[in-house]
Every structure is written in C-alpha cells, then in structure tokens.
Amino acid sequence: MIMTDWMFSFESALAALPEGTEARFTYPLRHGSMRIGIYAPHGHDPQAPHEQDELYIIASGTGFFVKKDERRPFKPGDAIFVEAHARHRFEDFSDDFATWVIFWGPKGGE
C-alpha cells in the first residue's frame, strides 16, 4: 500500500497489516529510496539481511534484538540501527510487538 498523503498514524498503518502471515509488514509512505513502514511479526521473526540501511523505532511490546552476534533487550521508544547486509532479528517478543521501520539510501548502505 502506498499512501498519497505525507502523514499517517500508527493505528492506520497497523490496520493495513496483512493477516494470516508470520512476517506482517506494510509501507504506507515511500519517497525515492526511503520507505517507512510498520513491522509486526507473529510468533517469530523470519527476516533476512536487507540491502539498505534501516532504523527501527519500537512502538509497542518488548523482547530481544539480535544483530550479528549481540543480543539486547528492547522496549517502546527504543531506536535500533541496522546497517545494510547485517544479520538481525527480533526474538522472544511479546504478542503486542510492533515497530516502525525506515529504509533509506543506496543498496549496500551509506
């Protein structure tokens, strides 16, 4: 889904998430190389490394974030940077977990 507006709410983005899949995400706003979305997986996080740099801003829930070989707890309000091609995933997250995700820049990162 691509919104034509330049502003959207967390609630409207959550409502646009597809049901029935483990890796639930949507990108309501895109401009050039930048995408802003909501990511709210169920059960486990199946993602693989990405080609762009990314920033997560935790909106709800708690759990652990693994980047390369380091594991740290997260909570609402935390910001997490992941450089392009870095192995990463969310683990042991609560049922209400959802995060903003922002991708930008060239393939391979900045």
pTM to 2 decimals?
Answer: 0.86
Three-state secondary structure of 50-104: CCCEEEEEEEECCEEEEECCEEEEECCCCEEEECCCCCEEEECCCCCCEEEEEEE
Query: 110 vs 37, 53, 73, 102, CA distance in Å?
Result: 20, 7, 26, 14
Domain boundaries, the chain: 10-104
pLDDT digits (tens, 9 = 90+) for 19-51: 766 668 888 888 899 999 999 998 899 899 999
pLDDT in tens, 74-110: 999 999 999 999 999 999 999 999 999 999 999 999 9
Confidence at residue 6, expressed as pLDDT on a 0 to 100 scale: 64
Q: Average pLDDT of 7-19?
A: 74
Class of domain 10-104 (CATH, top level)? mainly beta
Q: With 60 as the cut, is the pLDDT of residue 4 above it?
A: no
